[in-house]
């Protein structure tokens, strides 16, 4: 019996073993396959969860979740593993999980960027942003290079006494550095604050930061709105140029049954939705409403706010971020996509009224003290390392310490991991159950003459979303309709019409909002969720005819009808 622990961040080998162990234990519910390899040659795993006894994975509506495209965001990876584990272990126990696996498919790519993730969690870690491939330059540049120089397994900060330093010790807590005021003069001490590392080609004076050799950001690589590196840092030479993003995009687009997409990131404790580069007014209205209806449920279940990026989550009001996966899946694939930024220490420290982005540039010192107190009292000091003297080979006597980015800001402390990720699996299962699904409603056979039959097959969408999922997929001609096809034996023939009938799109229950939304009752609910395929067949009595009804996003129905 495999037991998966959610009390620590996983290295690649342990994650790989966990996925394969679960797949061995639950062979009817889960498979794991390599769908590509990373720059350094690691397999990129894709897990498929569905009940294989109720039909193949690609003939059921699906959701997709992926994680760790950014190197240091392992909590997202653990959340992906949590979702997989919850699905297979709760099948047969939890009615919603059981229903979801019987009727839907879950595709999970727990680690999109295994190379960068492995470095961020190595014994001697490196906190690089994303891919390990050097780009745009491969040569080494002079300047400060991030490195765990004291070998304690953490990348922290160096504080260096300097009469012209912009930092001073807080009067409230000697560990805390605060910005020096314009009228602060005298002996200080004043400090320069640098990330932990060493200086390549040090000239004894300049501490310039070496340009990041690995400046690719794989989540700026997706085709929708892609812009060159000079406009969008990290974008790479062209969209999907990297093996990791190419693998993701090929695997996702090869699964046209995916209706909802979730990218796991850290941090901010927020669920983000498109657009990255346009206001909500550029959406079809119905898509904003649907996004927010599903997002409200996300907030209810997880406590995370649900926000549109352009209107609520921009680092620079005059600029946008482009090339993210969530906007790409909405814009080009016509499905709903979200980016979940797991975890924030702020609410845990009692800081609840803050602006998600502006806070980092400016906040009262009381907030820093609250965060320190939280680390001291609740986490045994794990969030902030006390300054320790260190004899730096180039800078001489300095101190190393400060906030632990990896274990306090980018990821929760180990003991909080499971509680942080668990509710998100419930929200994703909720969204899976919202996807459109074709069900056979009725078969009506009527004899209309000697050897002639009217065959009517009634199909329903019993999901909440319409079969097209988004209005976008209709506007951009991405969605095809429900197609009903009859296959006749030799000796039978269609009297009129074609074997294949396009029934268009079937509505879902998302059309119903409140009883008083349609003033005057001019619209009624009617039956937009039903489709009827009708054929007139000439055949001998008791002849079987085969009918297939399929929609790429809403599944497939196959049935044989006997004319009688
Ligand atoms: Zn991220």
Q: Tell how far the Cα of 142 is from the centroid of ligand 1, in angstroms.
A: 28
- Model pLDDT, residue 515: 75
How many angstroms does the Cα of residue 73 sit away from the middle of ligand 1? 6
Cβ neighbourhood burial of 369 (10 Å; 0-12, 13-18, 19+): middle
CA–centroid distance, 82 to ligand 1, in Å, is 18
Q: Which CATH entry fits the domain spanning 438-562: 2.60.120.310, 2.60.40.10, 3.30.499.10, 2.40.50.100?
A: 2.60.40.10
Half-sphere exposure of 116 (CA within 13 A, CB side): 27
Q: Distance, CA 74 to ligand 1 centroid (Å)?
A: 10
Confidence of residue 20 (pLDDT cuts 50, 70, 90): very high
Q: How many whole angstroms from 412 Cα to the centroid of ligand 1?
A: 15
Q: pLDDT band at residue 147, thresholds of 50, 70 and 90?
A: very high
Where does residue 540 fall: left (phi above 0), alpha (psi -120 to 50 degrees), or beta otherwise?
beta
Ligand 1 centre to CA of 40 (Å) is 20
Cis, bond preceding 275 (omega within 30 deg of 0): yes
Residues 401-421: tens digit of each pLDDT: 999 999 999 999 999 999 999
State residue 191 phi and psi, 5-degree precision: -135, 150
Q: pLDDT tens digit string along 151-164?
A: 999 999 999 999 99
Pinpoint the residues of the chain covered by CATH 3.40.630.10. 12-121+215-343+425-434
State in Å: Cα 69 to ligand 1 middle. 7
Q: What is the 79 CA–ligand 1 centroid distance (Å)?
A: 14
CA 472–ligand 1 middle distance (angstroms): 26
The sign of the torsion formed by the CA atoms of 21, 22, 25, 29 equals negative
CA 81 / ligand 1 centre spacing (Å): 17
Distance 404 CA to ligand 1 centre (A): 17
- How many C-beta neighbours within 10 Å does residue 314 have? 16
Kindly tell me if the per-residue pLDDT of 519 is higher than 70: no
Task: Determine the average pLDDT of the residues in 292-301.
Answer: 97
Angle between helices 74-90 and 417-434 in degrees, nearest 10: 60
- What whole-number distance in Å separates Cα of residue 470 and Cα of residue 553? 11
Point out which residues pair with 237 in neighbouring strands: none
Residues with CB under 5 A from ligand 1 (ion): 70, 73, 265
Distance 229 CA to ligand 1 centre (A): 18
Which of 117, 335, 129, 107 has its CA nearest to residue 224?
A: 335
Residue 91 pLDDT > 80: yes
Rounded to whole angstroms, how far apart are CA atoms 244 and 233? Answer: 18
Q: Report the separation in Å between the CA atom of 266 and the middle of ligand 1, taken as the mean of its atom positions.
A: 5
How many A from CA of 541 to the centre of ligand 1? 63
Kindly report, residue by residue over 261-270, the tens digit of the pLDDT: 999 999 999 9
CATH number of 12-121+215-343+425-434: 3.40.630.10
Residue of higher predicted confidence among 314 and 428:
428
> Mean per-residue pLDDT for 380-392?
96
Instruction: Compute the distance from residue 75 Cα to the ligand 1 centre, in Å.
Output: 11
- What share of the chain in percent tops pLDDT 90? 88
**Which backbone phi and psi does 433 adopt, to 5 degrees?**
-70, -15
pLDDT in the model for residue 358:
86
Q: Give how far the C-alpha of residue 254 lies from the chain's centroid of Cα atoms, to the nearest Å.
A: 18
Pinpoint the residues of the chain covered by CATH 2.60.40.10: 438-562
Mean pLDDT of the chain: 95
- Residue 520 confidence (pLDDT): 52
The residues pairing with 143 across neighbouring beta strands, listed in sequence order, are 200
Ligand 1 center from residue 324 Cα (angstroms): 10
pLDDT at 523: 55
Q: State the distance from the centre of ligand 1 to the C-alpha of 33, rounded, in angstroms.
A: 24
What is the tens place of the pLDDT at every residue in 315-342? 777 889 999 999 999 999 999 999 999 9
Q: How far apart are CA 333 and CA 226, in angstroms?
A: 15
Give which of 488, 463, 471, 483 is closest to 561, Cα–Cα.
Answer: 488
Quote the radius of gyration of the chain (alpha carbons, Å). 28
């Amino acid at each position: 019996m495999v037991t998966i622990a959610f009390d620590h961040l996983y290295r690649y080998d342990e994650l790989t073993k966990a996925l394969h162990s679960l797949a061995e234990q639950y062979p009817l519910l889960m498979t794991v396959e390599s769908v590509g390899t990373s720059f350094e040659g690691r397999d990129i795993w894709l897990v498929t969860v569905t009940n294989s006894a109720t039909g193949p994975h690609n003939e059921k509506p699906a959701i997709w979740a992926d994680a760790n495209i950014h190197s240091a965001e392992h909590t997202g990876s653990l959340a992906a593993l949590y979702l997989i584990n919850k699905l297979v272990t709760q099948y047969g126990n939890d009615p919603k999980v059981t229903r979801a696996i019987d009727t839907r498919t879950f595709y999970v790519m727990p680690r999109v960027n295994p190379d960068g993730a492995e470095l961020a969690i190595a014994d001697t870690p490196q906190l690089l942003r994303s891919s390990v491939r050097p780009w745009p330059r491969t040569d080494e540049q002079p300047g400060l290079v991030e490195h765990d120089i004291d070998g304690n397994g953490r990348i922290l900060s160096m504080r260096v006494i300097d009469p012209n330093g912009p930092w001073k010790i807080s009067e409230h807590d000697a560990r805390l550095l605060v910005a020096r005021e314009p009228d602060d003069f005298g002996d200080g001490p004043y400090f320069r604050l640098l990330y932990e590392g060493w200086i390549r080609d040090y000239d004894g004076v300049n501490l310039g930061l070496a340009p990041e050799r690995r400046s690719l950001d794989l989540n700026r690589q997706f085709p929708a709105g892609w812009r060159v590196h000079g406009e969008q840092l990290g974008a790479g030479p062209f969209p999907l140029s990297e093996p990791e993003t190419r693998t993701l995009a090929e695997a996702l687009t090869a699964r046209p049954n995916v209706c909802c997409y979730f990218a796991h990131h850290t941090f901010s404790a927020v669920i983000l939705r498109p657009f990255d580069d346009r206001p909500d007014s550029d959406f079809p209205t119905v898509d904003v409403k649907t996004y927010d209806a599903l997002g409200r449920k996300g907030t209810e279940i997880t406590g995370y706010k649900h926000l549109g990026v352009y209107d609520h989550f921009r680092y620079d009001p005059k600029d946008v971020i482009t090339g993210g996966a969530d906007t790409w899946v909405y814009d080009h694939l016509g499905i709903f996509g979200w980016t979940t930024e797991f975890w924030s220490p702020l609410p845990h420290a009692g800081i609840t009224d803050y602006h998600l982005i502006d806070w980092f540039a400016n906040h009262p010192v009381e907030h820093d003290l609250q965060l320190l107190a939280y680390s001291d009292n609740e986490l045994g000091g794990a969030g902030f390392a006390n300054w320790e003297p260190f004899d730096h080979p180039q800078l001489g006597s300095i101190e190393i310490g400060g906030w632990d980015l990896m274990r306090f800001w980018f990821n929760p402390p180990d003991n909080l991991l499971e509680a942080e990720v668990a509710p998100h699996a419930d929200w994703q299962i909720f969204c899976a159950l919202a996807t459109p699904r074709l069900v056979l409603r009725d078969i009506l056979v009527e004899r209309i003459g000697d050897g002639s039959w009217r065959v009517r097959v009634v199909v329903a969408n019993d999901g909440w979303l319409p079969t097209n999922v988004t209005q976008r997929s209709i506007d951009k001609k991405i969605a095809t309709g429900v197609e009903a096809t009859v296959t006749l034996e030799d000796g039978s023939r269609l009297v009129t019409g074609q074997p294949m009938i396009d029934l268009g799109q079937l509505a879902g229950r998302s059309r119903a909002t409140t009883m008083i939304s349609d003033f005057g009752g001019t619209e009624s609910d009617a039956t937009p969720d039903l489709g009827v395929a009708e054929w007139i067949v000439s055949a001998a009595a008791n002849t079987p005819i085969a009918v297939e009804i399929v929609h790429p996003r809403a599944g497939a129905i196959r049935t044989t009808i006997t004319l009688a």
